[in-house]
Chain A
Amino acid sequence: MRPFQHLALGALSLTFAILGARAGTEQDAANLTPEQQGPTSIPISQEFNLEGSYGGGVQTKQGNARLGDASNINSHFDYVVSPQVKDGVLLRFGVDAERNDFGFDHSMPLPNVLESFNAIIGVDLALTDKILFRAELHPGIYTDGVAITGDDFDMPVQFGATYLYSKNLQIILGGQIDLKSDIPAIIIPGVRWQFADQWVLSLIPPKPQLQYELSKALTLYVGADIISGTYHLNDQFGNYHASTTVPGQPSLNDKIVDFNEDRVGVGATWKFMPNLSLDVSTGYIAYREFDVHKNEIGFNHHSTTFHENIGDGAPYGEIGVSGSF
């Protein structure tokens, strides 16, 4: 009976090994005496993601009024330490930082920067032999980078459950609660389906992809990339973004903005070390929106939206490195 065919795959195909493991040595053999001893340490894993991208000028409108083009340099980093405190229970502690640096005419009523720096406090649980559950708090500063105050503090909650139907099919249900967002609670389903030896349909936000494994080290994909976040705008934001010809919009002061940028493109992931990957992608920014609304809980029907019309997008390019240890 061979119950381990999947193990060379690695769980969820997230971490493929392409090189040999650390050697078992002659010394190992010498050390393997029959004494009985249990686990002596808590396994601690670490993971990180570092990615940066540039999106060209996207024509942005307020209603039907053209405001001009806005580019975006997005950079993101996260690092998580995950001790397995007992079987089936892993804690998660880390940091996450993201910055959107927009380039446009100063008079446009858009934030120059939307950035966040937050902690990650979470837990992974094996609820059953087929269900994994993750919950994370992300307390931190979500701001336009000007005059940081207590109003910039937010604590979104993210959670997700994975049902391991089989080694080829996993069903995911993820969600987020962010009381400052215009949509304070959202639940999104996902699926990862390896429907052929080299093909994987990974419909998992924020990066749903159709992947083709060209080799054990190289995977090609087409897919989408959703960049989003909820940030506080400073109490002079609307006043600042004015010029001699464009009046300020004080109504935008001290508001919350939900930012959303949807990209479609192609890319490649190169696993250049067993636990390190380089990801390169390019494509088109299909939609971008800044939804500015009051700092209150619940959906606001009177928000001010700056958006891109479909077809007014721009190309983007992204590069990233990720790893786990």
Chain B
Amino acid sequence: MKSVFLRAALSFGLLATLVHADPNLGFTAFAGADLSPLANGQVLQARGGLIDFERGVTAQSLYFIDQPPQIVEQKLEAWNPANHSELDVWLHAALPLKPTLADFSALNNLPDNKSVNNMVEATYNYTPGSDSLQLNTAEAGLVSAGHGQGQSKQFIVDVWSHILDGRVEAFLKNQLGEAKYVSNSATILPFSEAKALLRSDPKIFGEFHPMLKNTPVYNGAGLQPSHLYYECFDIQGEACFGTGAVYLVNLPGTVQRADVEYYVSNGIYTSVELEQLWPMTIGGRNGTLVWRSDMVSTANVAYLHGTERLASGMLMLQDVKQAVDAFRSEFR
């Protein structure tokens, strides 16, 4: 219910009561950092460094937007990365808190490009037990049922609507046992991945655990998501489908936000994006200080070693910077 209040508060501008205060960056990689360059548009970034999770890679970013926190928060809630072609997000759509199959109708409007076509091929070529798609046993049966009937756009829309709808339902009902990726080589639990990512940085974990313990990520149900979404984006030349939940809490002097993408059809296992906002004055300009942490779990990172893994983290910073720049461009 807290998030419902927050959304209402946003609507009425009540968050203007957030006072300008020194942000507590002690839990971030930017404790003690000189924030003055942020007023000029600089984005401070830090790789996640050494973490005890072989499939995880993380990064932190800090930037400033010369708009009040409520405006920034509203923009984050309404943010549609599909409007920025450089991000290779083909579809991003909000879902109601109790979605039905009809709410996935935007899948009918996927672009006709190579990335999406590769996903269509992967769906038709899927063999139960393979790693090409991340499905549970029931979902694998759904996909296989369409084989041998010729390719049709409607089948793709139907089968992925069912899969995404089922994942959302399992999430909202805390049916984590169904939320698996099952293949002949591995059984992955996306929620375990999310928890391992969150725990990889003890300070961040400590800062956000009071919020996340009330979500299905930690088998909690006390906090309703501010919104749900599904999307389709490119990974290595092949589109994937994902669905996630966004949580918000309003704390004294700050806002915390967590975006947990608990299902992705291929390429990565799960991702968590955390944000914290503070009202801030930098260089005489009033605005919002935004801290962001990106955490991703993927099989491939486990096979990166030494310098390759280091380079992967460095490239992740570039991806995050691109996303931050795209987001900030909407304020111009």
* Chain A interface residues (CB < 8 Å from chain B): 1-12, 14-26, 28-29, 32, 34, 36-43, 45-47, 82, 84, 86-88, 90, 92, 124, 126, 129-130, 132, 134, 162, 164, 166-167, 197-198, 274-275, 324-325
Contacts and interface: CB of A to CB of B under 8 A. Distances in A.
Contact of B303 (A6, A10, A42, A88): A10
Interface residues of B, number: 77
B323 A88 contact: no
B113 to A, nearest CB: 11
Nearest to A83: B306
Interface string B301-329: 11111111111101111111011101100
Given A5-B234, A6-B319, A23-B187, A32 B199 contact: yes
Given A7-B268, A38-B202, A88-B49, 20 more contacts: A1-B326, A2-B88, A4-B296, A4-B319, A7-B235, A7-B300, A8-B236, A9-B300, A10-B300, A10-B308, A12-B311, A16-B300, A17-B299, A20-B186, A20-B188, A21-B302, A24-B196, A28-B189, A84-B310, A197-B237
A28 B233 CA distance: 29
Contacts of B324: 1
Given A5-B88, A6-B316, A324-B305, A23 B186 contact: yes
B73 interface: no
B315 A11 contact: yes
A127 to B, nearest CB: 10
A98 B35 CA distance: 53
Interface stretch (B52-60, B157-165, B277-285): B52-60
Contacts of A23: 186-188
Given A8-B236, A37-B202, A124 B87 contact: no
B189 A26 contact: yes
A44 B191 CA distance: 27
A227 B47 CA distance: 37
Interface of B: 45, 47, 49-52, 54-55, 57, 59, 79, 81, 87-89, 114, 131, 176, 181, 183, 185-189, 191-193, 195-196, 199, 202-203, 205-206, 209, 213, 231, 233-237, 267-269, 271, 273, 294, 296, 298-312, 314-320, 322-324, 326-327
Contact of A166 (B54, B199, B231, B318): B318
Contacts of A7: 57, 235, 267-268, 296, 298, 300-301, 312, 316
B193 A82 contact: no
Contact of A87 (B47, B234, B307): B47
Contacts of B273: 1
A20 B131 CA distance: 6
Given A1-B273, A3-B319, A88 B185 contact: no
Contacts of B303: 10, 15-17, 21, 274-275, 324
A21 B192 contact: no
Q: Which of B114, B205, B296, B306 has the most CB atoms of chain A within a 10 A radius of its CB? A: B306
B236 A20 contact: no
Looking at chain A's contact residues, the main secondary structure is loop
A84 B308 CA distance: 12
Contacts of B47: 87-88, 126, 129
A166 B267 CA distance: 20
A39 B189 contact: no
A245 to B, nearest CB: 54
A22 B183 CA distance: 11
Contact of A1 (B203, B209, B307, B323): B323
A58 B269 CA distance: 53
20 contacts: A1-B87, A1-B326, A2-B89, A7-B235, A7-B296, A11-B307, A11-B308, A11-B315, A15-B304, A17-B299, A17-B303, A21-B55, A21-B188, A24-B193, A39-B52, A43-B309, A82-B307, A130-B318, A164-B315, A324-B303
B50 A24 contact: no
B308 A40 contact: no
A59 B315 CA distance: 47
Nearest to B240: A8
A84 B50 contact: yes
A134 B307 contact: yes
Given A3-B316, A12-B308, A90-B307, A22 B186 contact: yes
